[in-house]
């Protein structure tokens, strides 16, 4: 409207400049008089245009014009920004700082046959209470540091310095040593309240070391040299770990195939290992499969992994063989653990996340707070652990497990988990000496992270 008004005024000015000399010629006015008259008219028109523009601006300040551009509703975008779990501070020089943390509270029950000399019943715990930070440093460097306050002691979870250059990343500090898909998937994004039995039984944990990773397209290769966990640096462990992942996407199906190799020298003559596991939940201290302490020189492990995600459905399977080299004149035992699981989202549009050779965050399509219900996922798993071999009788566990996971938002989770464990050669006998029996466990979790 303002542009059209200015054009009409200029047109009027031009018409005046044409008409003025015509009348001047008829009146025999001199050239100097004509120019003076034209200048006066233009000055008057310019002054009038300025006055009209000032009036128009003043009126728009009081009441916006109907010619104002249409602007979309930004309330949804603002709400999404406000819902971000943590604020990242960053500078133009390459520094950034992002606070991070997680809180998990578990409760439930463990039901054991009356004749078994083991405590059962209700239990609860603060499973994880972590706080930390991660970010970038100038020159391609990065860092991550987390402390866990759950349990009786404060423990360092991650403490790592990284350097990235294209497909390569180097990490130095305490971090995961590439053990298995289930172990490497964050506890925030697992299908069950606890990981598969073999991951705890074989002592998978973060360790201090240096590693290098190469990721390009379908391939992820990881390898590193590791010592001990930061809480056990006096044990003199020295290990080598490697993992290769192939992760093609075939049509709508995200595939995952991987293998890993692990060697750990225990570092001193009187070293020992002990493999054992709880009945599905962590808030009990009872282990029904247990090798007791075994004299050992080193450990050698081989793992295989497979998984697939398509739409709301996912499946995963792993197997892991752990061989112990003992100083005794006996056969060296090889123990085995593995699982097969499948899951399905009952809410439309939701799917399991996958990134960097492991499962990632589930982000509900219709979260609570935006008119939706969140995501609802149902999972089933068969979990197997065999600690019997070469004269060692640690027991065999067959576990049948189910979970229902509700995620109201990206960063909140509630789950119900049930497990039925059938034991053979259990470490704890019943009153009549029978070591073959079953245990039931129910676990509930409330979780938030940022």
Transcribe 20-86 into DSSP letters. Answer: HHHHHHHTT--HHHHHHHHHHHHHHHHHHHHHHHHHHHHHHHHS--TTSPP----HHHHHHHHT-SS
Handedness of CA 182, 443, 344, 364 (dihedral sign): negative
- pTM recorded for the entire structure: 0.81
Position 61 scores a pLDDT of 54
Q: Token pair 């979870």 is at which residue?
A: 157
Using one digit for the tens of pLDDT, what is the confidence trace for 158-185? 999 999 999 999 999 999 999 999 999 9
- Picking from 424, 440, 113, 118, the residue whose alpha carbon sits closest to that of residue 281 is 440
Q: 297-307 in b/e burial notation, b at 16+ Cβ within 10 A?
A: bbbebebbbbb
Rounded Cα distance, 258 and 139, in Å: 32
Rounded Cα distance, 405 and 344, in Å: 10
As separate numbers, helices (DSSP H) first and strands (DSSP E) second, the chain gives 5, 24
Q: Token pair 């303002």 is at which residue?
A: 2
Q: Mean pLDDT across the stretch 286-300? A: 97
Residue 230 corresponds to which tokens in the numbers above?
Answer: 């930061």
- Picking from 261, 199, 208, 200, the residue whose alpha carbon sits closest to that of residue 235 is 208
- How far, CA to CA in Å, does 92 sit from each of 75, 98, 233, 418? 29, 15, 39, 50
**Per-range mean pLDDT, top range of 19-28, 48-57, 113-122, 343-352:** 343-352
Q: Strand pairing of 353-355 and 334-345?
A: unpaired
Using one digit for the tens of pLDDT, what is the confidence trace for 397-433? 999 999 999 999 999 999 999 999 999 999 999 999 9
- pLDDT bracket for residue 328 (50, 70, 90): confident
How many CA atoms are closer than 13 Å to the CA of 55, on its beta-carbon side? 7
CATH number of the 89-449 domain? 2.40.160.10
Residue 118: enclosing H or E segment and its boundaries?
none
- How far, CA to CA in Å, does 90 sit from each of 81, 86, 295? 16, 13, 51
């Amino acid at each position: 409207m303002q542009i059209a008004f200015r054009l009409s005024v200029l047109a009027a000015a031009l018409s005046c400049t044409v008409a003025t000399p015509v009348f001047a010629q008829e009146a025999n006015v001199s050239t100097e008089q004509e120019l003076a008259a034209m200048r006066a008219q233009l000055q008057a028109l310019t002054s009038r245009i300025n006055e009209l523009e000032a009036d128009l601006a003043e009126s728009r300040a009081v009441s916006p014009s109907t010619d104002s551009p249409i602007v979309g509703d930004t309330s949804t975008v603002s709400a999404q920004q406000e819902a971000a779990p943590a604020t990242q501070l960053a500078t133009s020089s390459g520094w950034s700082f992002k606070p991070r943390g997680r809180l998990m509270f578990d409760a439930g029950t463990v039901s054991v046959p009356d004749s078994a000399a083991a405590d059962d019943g209700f239990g609860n715990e603060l499973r994880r209470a972590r706080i930390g930070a991660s970010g970038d440093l100038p020159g391609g460097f990065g860092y991550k540091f987390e402390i866990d306050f759950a349990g009786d002691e404060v423990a360092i979870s991650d403490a790592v310095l990284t350097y990235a250059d294209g497909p390569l990343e180097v990490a130095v500090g305490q971090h995961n040593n590439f053990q298995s898909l289930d172990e490497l998937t964050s506890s925030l994004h697992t299908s069950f309240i606890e990981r598969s039995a073999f991951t705890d039984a074989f002592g998978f944990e973060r360790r201090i070391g240096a590693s290098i990773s190469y990721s390009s397209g379908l391939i992820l290769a990881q390898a590193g040299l590791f010592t001990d966990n930061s809480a056990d640096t006096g044990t003199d462990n020295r290990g080598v770990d490697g993992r290769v992942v192939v992760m093609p996407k075939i049509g709508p199906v995200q595939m995952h195939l991987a293998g890993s190799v692990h060697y750990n020298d225990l570092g001193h003559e009187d070293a020992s290992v002990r493999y054992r596991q709880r009945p599905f939940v962590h808030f009990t201290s009872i282990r029904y499969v247990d090798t007791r302490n075994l004299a050992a020189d080193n450990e050698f492990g081989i793992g295989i992994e497979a998984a697939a995600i398509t739409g709301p459905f996912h499946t995963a399977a792993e197997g892991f063989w752990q061989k112990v080299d003992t100083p005794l004149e006996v056969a060296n035992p090889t123990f085995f653990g593995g699982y097969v699981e499948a899951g399905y989202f009952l809410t439309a549009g939701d799917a399991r996340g996958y990134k960097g050779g492991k499962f990632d965050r589930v982000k509900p399509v219709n979260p609570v707070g935006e008119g939706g219900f969140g995501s609802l996922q149902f999972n089933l798993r068969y979990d197997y652990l065999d600690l019997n071999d070469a004269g060692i009788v640690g027991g065999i566990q067959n576990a049948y497990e189910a979970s229902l996971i509700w995620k109201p938002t990206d960063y909140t989770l509630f789950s119900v988990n049930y497990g039925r464990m059938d034991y053979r050669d259990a470490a704890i006998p019943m009153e009549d000496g029978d070591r073959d029996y079953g245990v039931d466990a129910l676990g509930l979790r409330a979780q938030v992270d940022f």
